[in-house]
Chain A
């Protein structure tokens, strides 16, 4: 590894960023391509929602649960809003909230996790105790309580979910980092007198990245699911904001009665499918990334 590294770096330096990206993309498997295309479509839908959606997010345009047809591409929801429009606006809200929450939770949890694994001592103990207490309380119930205390704005929702999620990230980051910090190269870096930040970001983080990235993919999707579960229990996003998780929960009674009620797939299935598709897409991309960072050459 040490013998090859400088050589590789010099070769890559001669390629431009775009060439590099092209090369990387060209080597991507079909699943990763599928994932990237789906994510791209979602992101475009999120950005251009007001132009793409035929009706407003909160606009009541027809009767309740109208079937899909010429008038409404996917039919209407429980109070007669256009389902297709709400799905598009939902992309914006759902992805935005989930992304912010996950990013925040990884920034807090990941950094603290690695830091405590390196430092150990009283800091590790103090943070670990607090985190343990947080982790030891069921996330849904605790989120319900905290939301009731803090008030249910979207900002509060993001902060509370990020806080609760970061404790989970912390646990994983610390556990995996513990295996790395006992490695000789970390010892060596410490002896060299490297700064803590350098050790975290240059030595430890790259080596625990793969499990963390897998976790990121999953955590991101868990945010939708947590919001869906909160909606199911009666607390969720402030209406009329469209959010996929809440949309599934709002039409939950229709799930056990598919097809028989309506000629076409009933309302809760679309947002559920939107969530599932995005999750699969993100994780396909994550898998590809995991594969690349693992340093394995393709064995095909």
Chain B
């Protein structure tokens, strides 16, 4: 950063806090050769940075179904996921834009016994929307609802190491784990784990009463939900009310934005992004997150059981072309490392898999597998543009003498019948807050979502050891080796990291964005404001 940029940042901050006048600010930036018009625009932008209360925030998202419900165990899409983070719900902790854990319902948390035991202190005086005070019992009931034996909650997988949660007095909860986990606080930031009022150890979610910043006003599944500010919210929030629309069709969603019906849309179509970008009063919401599109191979099935075949396919795919044509440049090429560069402990394993059909050819020759023919199960349910991506891959692999037969699978039932069932298919991974969370859930030998059935003893050993390791340098080294193993030996073809791309009206003010999920990590309702 140059000296001027640093000064500018400071000046902008001062404007945001109202400490620098418009006149002084404009004089300051014009001194560096900026035109008057540009300087005025910069001031407006800086002034907007100051949060203020009021207004109704309207957003349209490309998710939502008529089967959505208020049951936190069923939340799984972009319409419902934020409810537990910053709408009706409030979890124990939140994630900051810097990807750090911030205490939320919990006031503090302390590990002991090699991070096998965690003690969470609950903030005093938090009330639910119905006036009931939040106690440790509610926290325990909430957690038990998700990890119980007949739970259908995806959070069960996230908390698979959790043995028990017990209340110790009205404002202390003790978590016992089966093995040490230094990242445990990250896990309880999961969006399913919003606190709900309990009675007799059972939580009551049916009315949408939580402890979060907004009180549910109306909810039509697959259409719309509205909520109003919770006047007794223990945190900070700005909007008076929010309105969330489900518009699955991307053209309809884009038009809803362009015709001014909403302030924000997610999942803009990259094909038409230029139109959105040039619309009046609009900023592009473009966040490079930790989400990725992949093509997992089952390493216990022929021909993917041969290392040379896996590597040949990795070299035979032009990931940059995929980024250009599927993401229209809004993303970055993968290198068969599941961890996005923005995650802590992420490395860039060598050699970087670029497009090298000759290398692929020679690898196949070595394995005696020339003229390889493989099926690739593709679907737009795996990720938007999945079928097109597969067709491109088929064309690219031709140069290496590999014939990829693209099989378009049905959108519904894709996750049930194709993923982890067909030898080579497509998949997407949403954000996970930590290296451990990501690797444990997708690559560990016994993980339910180990979609390559890759069982590398060394990797699994390192993963468990690193989880409990508190020495930063050692931990870093362990995770580096893990990533290298996945890169070299694993069946995961990480095609690309997709940016979260949307359109955001300049009428909305915001701080730095979270990168772990779309919608500012799910915190847009709580953290954004009317500028």
Contact = CB atoms under 8 A, between A and B. Distances in A.
B251 interface: yes
A51 interface: no
B414 to A, nearest CB: 10
B413 interface: yes
Contacts of B272: 253-254, 257, 261
Given A58-B395, A59-B395, A256-B255, A78 B411 contact: no
Nearest to B407: A238
A234 B411 contact: yes
22 contacts: A59-B395, A60-B391, A60-B395, A63-B324, A63-B325, A64-B324, A78-B325, A79-B392, A148-B410, A148-B412, A234-B381, A238-B407, A239-B408, A240-B391, A240-B406, A252-B251, A253-B250, A256-B251, A256-B255, A260-B275, A261-B272, A261-B274
Interface of B: 250-251, 254-255, 269, 271-272, 274-275, 324-326, 328, 380-381, 387-388, 391-392, 394-395, 406-408, 410-413
Nearest to B378: A239
Contacts of B387: 239
A80 interface: yes
A63 B392 CA distance: 12
A235 B411 CA distance: 8
A147 B328 CA distance: 32
Contacts of B412: 148
B388 A79 contact: yes
Contacts of B407: 238
Contact of A80 (B250, B275, B325, B413): B325
A158 to B, nearest CB: 17
Interface of A: 58-60, 63-65, 78-80, 147-148, 152, 234-235, 238-240, 251-257, 260-261
Nearest to A64: B325
A256 B387 CA distance: 23
A256 B255 CA distance: 8
B271 A253 contact: yes
- Between B254, B380, B410, B412, the greatest number of chain A beta carbons within 10 A of the residue's beta carbon is seen for B410
B413 A148 contact: yes
Contact of B408 (A238, A256, A257, A260): A238
Given A78-B271, A252-B251, A254-B271, A152 B408 contact: yes
A65 B407 CA distance: 24
B406 to A, nearest CB: 6
Nearest to B413: A148
Contacts of A253: 250-251, 254, 269, 271-272
B380 A234 contact: yes
A85 B387 CA distance: 20
Nearest to B255: A256
Contacts of A254: 271-272
Contacts of B411: 234-235
Contacts of A255: 251
The 7 closest A-B pairs by CB, nearest first: A234-B411, A60-B395, A253-B251, A253-B269, A64-B325, A79-B388, A240-B391
Nearest to B389: A79
Nearest to A78: B388
A58 B391 CA distance: 8
A68 to B, nearest CB: 17
A261 B272 CA distance: 7
B254 A256 contact: yes
B65 to A, nearest CB: 14
Main secondary structure on A side of the interface with B: loop
Given A147-B410, A255-B251, 17 more contacts: A64-B324, A65-B271, A79-B326, A79-B388, A79-B392, A80-B325, A234-B381, A234-B411, A240-B394, A240-B406, A251-B271, A253-B269, A256-B254, A256-B255, A257-B275, A260-B275, A261-B272
A83 to B, nearest CB: 15
Nearest to A255: B251
Contacts of B275: 257, 260-261
Contacts of B413: 148
A79 B325 contact: yes
Contacts of A261: 272, 274-275
A151 B411 CA distance: 12
B406 A152 contact: no
Contacts of B394: 58, 240
A78 B255 CA distance: 20
A300 B342 CA distance: 79
A79 B391 contact: yes
A152 B324 contact: no
B7 to A, nearest CB: 40
Nearest to B390: A239
Contacts of A147: 410
A21 B486 CA distance: 72
Contacts of B381: 234
B392 A60 contact: yes
A80 to B, nearest CB: 6
Nearest to A147: B410
A11 B297 CA distance: 74
A63 B320 CA distance: 12
A234 B388 CA distance: 13
Contacts of A78: 271, 325, 388
A148 B416 CA distance: 13
Contacts of A256: 251, 254-255
Contacts of A60: 391-392, 395
Nearest to B406: A239
Contacts of B251: 252-253, 255-256
B249 to A, nearest CB: 8
A80 B391 CA distance: 11
B355 to A, nearest CB: 13
Contacts of A58: 391, 394-395
Contacts of B326: 79
Nearest to A56: B395
A99 B387 CA distance: 27
Contacts of A63: 324-325
A92 to B, nearest CB: 19
A235 B395 CA distance: 23
Nearest to B380: A234
Contacts of A152: 408, 410
- Between B269, B391, B408, the greatest number of chain A beta carbons within 10 A of the residue's beta carbon is seen for B408
